[in-house]
Structure 1
Amino acid sequence: MENVANSNSVTIVGKVVEDKVFSHEMYGESFYIYNIEIPRLSEHTDILPVTVSERLLIDLDIEVGKTIIVEGQLRSYNRYNNGHNKLILTIFARDLYIPCEEEYQEKIKRPNEIYLDGFICKKPIYRTTPFGREITDILIAVNRAYNKSDYIPCIAWGRNARFCENLEIGDHIKIWGRIQSREYQKRLSDGSVVNKMAFEVSISKLEYIKDDNNRENKEDEDETYKSNLKSEAY
């Protein structure tokens, strides 16, 4: 159980940009979504959804504009809409608090960190941008307690992209990076265009666990992914 708990770790520091919105209730416990704005090293920011239990909000004054620290996990679930399945990502808060000035100054140096330990569950896709940057899109399955898994889309760059291009379904990797938000446009069947937001992990460091993979079970792993994607819920 400890290894599972340590396979998915997120720490973010950011500003609350919207009032909380009710998400769901489970066993009498209510959960809410906060959108948190996190600075990048560039002038851009990422706005990430955080799922928070009402029990973490007791005696906390979390208002729009407040800076908070969130520690938790990046989780996925499947939303069924108009005959299609969509993978939804959210940061599930295990702890949330308002930092003092000294702690804020220390944490803001690295405001967006994630560590994942999982297995490749879909064939990596290598591509280049119009500016010639090399990118490989990968999807990894990270084990969670109670025989559940989270499916996390990730992006590798440069030499990591070239390396990831040759990974196979079932390969075991560990990654370090940050969670990023990305706006894109989607054209609907009626010809109209809507703005959408995607979330993914941008990889800064990657470790390939050579002697621990499930390559022999590639077909089973892929079918498990497809099956879980239909029923996964956080």
Structure 2
Amino acid sequence: MRGESNRAVLVGIVLTDLMFSHKSYGESFYIIQLGIDRKSGYRDEIKVIISERLIWDLYINIGDCLQVEGQVRTYNEETEGHSKLNIVVFARTITYLEEELPHENNISLTGFLCKLPIRRTSPLGRELCDLMLAVNRMYNKSDYIPCIAWGRNATYAGSLEVGTRLSIVGRIQSREYKKRDADGNVISKIAYEVSILKIEE
């Protein structure tokens, strides 16, 4: 697990048209959703941020197969008076694939545990543990990345202390869940997190 502290490699299908996201230092950034199929048949829908520099000579269409290499990034967005943590993959390189290859979703992170782990049990009785990993990047910035461990990894992660340095290998996933709003209405929301396959101090 040596090398970069934050690396994402994705292969999947473009699900949305390119949409303008934001401008930074005169450079425009765009967002797409990439659909990545799991072996179980479930499809993760991951947001990818792309600089105009990477796509000036590419025509990206819905249904195209892309390979994206980059980093997991997080930022807070204010919506309706609430702060929401957004999780995206910030693309460093994009490769247009002529034919659809097997889908890939590989995330490698090294960072510090910045909150106490929360152990819980899923509705199906599986042991889970929620972690928040602070991963440093340049210019004294950090990304705060929610991660989830399962089974034996959850038991191990549940005993860790804040400040522990961890290396994690896993995949970024999207998960739909139901929540009641202030008026009692049930609404569907999507959570993004890194599902841990391997964890070590």
TM-score exceeds 0.5: yes
Deviations 1:28-63 (A, max 9, x none): 111111001001011111000000011111111210
For 1:129, the aligned partner's letter is S
1:55 partner SS: helix
Please identify which structure carries the higher helix content. 1
Task: Pick one of 162, 166, 175 that aligns with 2:168.
Answer: 175
TM superposition score normalised by structure 1: 0.82
The residue identity in structure 2 corresponding to 1:35 is: Q
Partners of 2:159 and 2:96 in 1: CA distance: 43
**Superposition deviation, residue 21 in structure 1:** 1.3
Structure 1, unaligned runs of 5 or more: 209-234
Q: 1:158-179 deviations in whole A, cap 9, x for unaligned? A: 1110000011110000000100
Q: Which residue of 2 aligns with 1:6?
A: 4
Deviations 1:155-212 (A, max 9, x none): 101111000001111000000010010001221112222211110000001111xxxx
* d(CA) in 1 for partners of 2:28, 2:158: 41
* Aligned pairs (5 A) from 1:29-178: 29-101=27-99, 105=101, 108=102, 111-178=104-171
Distance 2:61 2:81 in 1: 37
Distance in structure 2 (CA, Å) of the matches to 1:24 and 1:131: 40
Q: Distance in 2 between matches of 1:129 and 1:46?
A: 19
Number of aligned positions between the proteins: 200
Alignment correspondent of 1:200: 193
3-state DSSP of counterpart to 2:76: strand
More strand by share: 2
So what's the TM-score if we normalise by structure 2?
Answer: 0.95
CA contact (8 A) 1:118 1:142 kept: yes
Tell me, what secondary structure is at the counterpart of 2:117?
Answer: strand
8 Å Cα contact 1:60/1:97 also seen in 2: no
Amino-acid identity (%): 52
Per the TM alignment, residue 131 of structure 1 is displaced from its structure 2 partner at its CA by 2.0
Residue 22 of structure 2: aligned partner:
24
Match of 1:228 in 2: none
In structure 2, stretches of 5+ residues that fail to align are none
- TM-superposed CA distance for 1:9, in Å, is 0.1
SS at structure 1 position matched to 2:133: strand
Runs of at least 4 residues of structure 1 off by over 3 A? none
For 1:31 and 1:80, locate their aligned partners in 2 and report how far apart those are by CA, in whole Å.
19
Q: Contact 2:65/2:98 (CA < 8 Å) preserved in 1?
A: no
User: Of the two, which has the highest radius of gyration?
Assistant: 1
In structure 2, the partner of 1:185 is: 178
Distance 2:180 2:75 in 1: 24
**Deviation of the 1:100 alpha carbon:** 4.1
Question: Partners in 2 of 1:187 and 1:32 — Cα distance?
Answer: 32
Whole-Å separation in 2 of the counterparts to 1:97 and 1:199: 24
Query: 2:50, 2:90 within 8 Å by CA — same for their partners in 1?
Result: yes
Q: By how many angstroms is 1:82 displaced?
A: 3.2
Q: What SS does the aligned partner of 1:61 have?
A: coil
